Amino acid sequence: MGIFRKAEKKLEGLVEGGFGRAFKASVQPVELAHKLAKEMGDHKAVGVSNVYVPNEFDIFLGEADYGHLSSLSESLKAELANYVTAFARREGWTLVAPPSIDLHRDDDLHVGEFGIATRTVNAPAEAPGAAFVPSAARPRRVRFSTRPCSTRRRPPRPRRPRRGPAPRARPCVARRGSGSSARP
């Protein structure tokens, strides 16, 4: 599986980097949202009863993109946090605390390029033991049967007679030279 993930990352970098540089398009919030969801899936940790995903994200933008998106900073962070929460709920993943998203400026990045760093951070000390679990990922109530169960294998059910017209008998085929008939 690691080979496919590496190949996918290489191909993704070539395509996204090439198109970003060729068309000089600025980063759009929808691109950030999709990349955040992908990063959550790439960095998930499977626990005994939950799948934990990162809840703290640092988004690094180039100078021009940072200038363009910093005016929307607070509403953009809230919208992306809502998207991350809804995506985790839809996938059945667990966030250990509400998502935190920060925008940072990185002068090494060009227009249309961005990077994301993820971490899983526990809930603040004010609320000890309070894990943030999206509602769809909360444990569901399980119904138990009142019938006794057994580990023995059940005997096969008897075959029922076939309904409808009876199967037709095969015709007898006479063999040459033997003078008698035989069924095929």
Q: Domain residues of the chain, as ranges?
A: 26-124+131-137
Q: How confident is residue 26, by pLDDT bands cut at 50, 70 and 90?
A: confident
CATH number for domain 26-124+131-137, candidates 3.30.2320.60, 2.60.120.10, 3.40.50.720, 1.10.286.10: 3.30.2320.60
For residue 41, the number of C-alpha atoms closer than 13 Å in the C-beta half-sphere is 11
> Which amino acid is residue 129, in one-letter code?
G
- pLDDT higher than 80, residue 9: no
Decide: pTM greater than 0.85.
no
Please give the Cα distance from 169 to 181 (Å, whole number).
15
pLDDT score of 39: 94
Average per-residue pLDDT for the chain:
77
- pLDDT higher than 70, residue 31: yes
Share of the chain above pLDDT 70, in %: 59
Please give the Cα distance from 78 to 99 (Å, whole number).
9
Mean pLDDT of 135-148: 47
How many CB atoms are closer than 10 A to CB 68?
Answer: 15
Cβ-Cβ contacts under 8 Å for 95 (sequence gap 6 or more): 52, 53, 55, 84, 85, 88, 132, 133, 134
CA distances from 146 to 106, 136, 142, 143, 149 (A): 62, 27, 13, 10, 9
> Which amino acid is residue 132, in one-letter code?
F
The residue among 63 and 170 whose pLDDT is bigger is 63
CA distances from 53 to 30, 94, 165 (A): 20, 6, 61
Q: Is 71 within 8 Å of 77 (Cβ atoms)? A: no
pLDDT digits 0-9 by tens, 70-91: 888 899 999 999 999 999 999 9
- pLDDT higher than 60, residue 106: yes
Q: Which two tokens stand for residue 58?
A: 């640092």
CA distances from 51 to 26, 142, 182 (A): 34, 19, 67
pLDDT score of 8: 75
- pLDDT higher than 50, residue 144: no
Q: How confident is residue 148, by pLDDT bands cut at 50, 70 and 90?
A: low
Q: How confident is residue 142, by pLDDT bands cut at 50, 70 and 90?
A: very low
Mean pLDDT of 31-50: 92
**Residue closest to 59 by CA, chosen among 19, 91, 31, 85:** 31
- pLDDT higher than 50, residue 66: yes
pLDDT score of 3: 78
